[in-house]
Chain A
């Protein structure tokens, strides 16, 4: 492996101090399943690396009536196997449960997936539709960033010599449901060609009172699909209305062509998968 200086932090404060002490060009290492691959294969040459896996405060996963707290170092398999996440934050369970292989899910962290900022990240669209907030710590203190404002481009975030400490998700009401699915050429150990996440709330008459729809791998970042959300809100979730929202979502996607699919194919997938994800999310909302 390419040589680099490696410092293991044992607290968030120490990690921030290391970033400030060593200056430009440092990178943070969490589970290693993205960063070390980029160093080995993609020519990434960080000036130095700060390891976060020894920081206990980043490993906390807990929930209460207000919502879910996911430490940045919580592993994918821990999220996917958590009973509360499965029941109340289902789209996130769907996403965390399909990342890579079993080995990957024993190493990769939610914070790493968010900070790697791939538009295809499997926890990206779920966290977007679940209205997550990213909690950031740096030399100047702490701040909160809405997940949709966190990513600025492929591999780019708002972080500036800062560390993501945790992600919070507000508790959904009982009449809510969420769903994420992705299409990959291979079933396992592949990256989404398209990912679609849907969150819906139903009112007492079964009408959709709130809809959030996010798309992965069809834009420079994970993106919301506001026209699709508007098409779905305010009426019953029928196959016809879901299909109308799916068509709207396809109009909001701006995919590129690559080895996982042409732009035309991806646009078609967005329509089909958004429609299907809406119906699955509605089923979950009905319990």
Chain B
């Protein structure tokens, strides 16, 4: 059944529109304004045209080199955590207990890391991974593995990736679990009658049913890892050197640390455009899977 057309629905949407416009459009206008100007302090601004953007997008300049280094670092990070968290999340969702008190207990423990403030997540891993006082750091060194996340790039990366897996795999798992729960028992019974293998059940029944929630999971995880700031900021402060300086950390350094408003604003806009583009691709794919399902007469 088609939804009726009613333009008075805008009245219901207006409050949301106003508050989001206030918090999104007004600030972005300021950013656009800064991005085309240069300042030498004292609140004196000079027109700089597209100068900052040219510098930002040219990897041979200091600003451009820095931006692209942070961008590749961030993309690598997002790719690594997606490659770990999505399969692990599916595996955990498939391993969930079926019924009884165990389900509630497991759900509560799984959701726990998601509700810890992000700086505390950093703190938890700091005290857990430090070589002098942390269980993990001390244990690894005791086993003879040279591990020091504050001085060694590889250790720092591994720590941040494991921290993110610890923090967010439950989100993927809970989404997949919700998808699995919506599969009627009859599907499994039919599969059993057909003598389908465990793998066949997974690829033909469970995976297609999880497609939509998996899309949401990948979208949320990609976006949140692409704007990760607090956890690495607390854990490593972007170091050692610049080894874990992701886009948001670099941007905050530029804007609030050095007060390089023009450069920071240009970087903000390019950063935001990348996010918007990726978001649009996902949204289109998601709406299309939704309408495919509607065509087959299933609820979206």
- Do A and B actually bind? no
